[in-house]
Amino acid sequence: MPTVIVNDKPVEIGASEKLNCIEAAQRAGFEIPHYCYHPSLSVVASCRMCLVEVGDKKPDGTVAMQPKLVPGCQTPVKDGTVVISNSKKVADAQKATLEYLLLNHPLDCPTCDQAGECGLQDYSYKYGRGFSRLDEPKNIKPDKDYIGDQITLFTDRCIVCTRCVRFTREISGTAELQLVSRGSHEEIDIFPGEPCNNKLAGNVVDLCPVGALCSKDFLYEQRVWWLKTTKSVCSGCSSGCNITVDQNHDEVFRLKPRTNLQAQGYYMCDDGRFGWKYIHSDHRLQAPEERIDGRVASRDWDGVLPSAKTALTSAIQRKPKAVAAIFSPWMTVEEAYLLAKFLKDQSPDVTLALAPTRVEGEDDTYPKDVHGNPVQPVKFTIRAEKAPNRRGVEAVLKHFQGSLVPSSEVLSGLSSGTFDSLYLVESDPKARLAEAQAEGLKKARLLIVQGLLDSPAVKMAHYVLAAGSFAERDGTFINFAGLAQLIRRAVRGPGESRADNRILWDLASRTGLFNGPALRKEIAGEVAELAALAEEPGELGVFTGGEPAKV
For the stretch 211-228, pLDDT in tens is 999 999 999 999 999 999
The pLDDT of 301-314, averaged and rounded, is 96
Positions of CATH 3.10.20.740 in the chain: 3-96
Would you state the pLDDT for residue 130?
Answer: 81
Q: Is 226 left (phi over 0), alpha (psi -120 to 50) or beta?
A: alpha
3-class SS of residue 148:
coil
pLDDT category of residue 135 using cuts at 50, 70 and 90: confident
Would you state the pLDDT for residue 551?
Answer: 40
Element (H, E) at 308: helix 301-318
Q: Which of 468, 508, 444, 467 is nearest to 291 (CA)?
A: 444
Terminal-to-terminal C-alpha distance of the chain: 20
Distance, CA of 461 to CA of 191 (rounded, Å): 54
Position 466 pLDDT exceeds 80: yes
CATH architecture group of domain 289-543: 3-Layer(aba) Sandwich (3.40)
The pLDDT of 417-442, averaged and rounded, is 91
**Identity of the residue numbered 380:** F
CA angle 181, 183, 184 (to 5 degrees): 95
pLDDT category of residue 370 using cuts at 50, 70 and 90: confident
3-class SS of residue 178:
strand
The pLDDT of 10-25, averaged and rounded, is 94
CA angle 323, 328, 333 (to 5 degrees): 100
Position 274 pLDDT exceeds 60: yes
Asked whether 45 and 73 are in contact (CB, 8 A), the reply is yes
The pLDDT of 369-398, averaged and rounded, is 94
* Tens-place pLDDT, residues 30-45: 999 999 999 999 999 9
Would you state the pLDDT for residue 315?
Answer: 97
Average pLDDT, the chain: 94
Asked whether 264 and 237 are in contact (CB, 8 A), the reply is no
Neighbours of 459 (CB within 10 A): 14
Positions of CATH 3.30.70.20 in the chain: 100-278
Burial class (CB in 10 A: 0-12, 13-18, 19+), 215: buried
Write out the E strands in 427-519. 446-451, 463-466, 475-478, 483-487
Distance, CA of 308 to CA of 311 (rounded, Å): 5
Taking the domain 3-96, which CATH number applies?
3.10.20.740
Pairing mode of beta strands 463-466, 289-292:
antiparallel
Distance, CA of 278 to CA of 238 (rounded, Å): 19
CATH topology of domain 100-278: Alpha-Beta Plaits (3.30.70)
Position 484 pLDDT exceeds 70: yes
Positions of CATH 3.40.50.740 in the chain: 289-543
pLDDT category of residue 22 using cuts at 50, 70 and 90: very high
**Identity of the residue numbered 136:** E
**SS3 per residue for 3-30:** EEEECCEEEECCCCCCCEHHHHHHHHCC
Would you state the pLDDT for residue 61?
Answer: 85
pLDDT category of residue 399 using cuts at 50, 70 and 90: very high
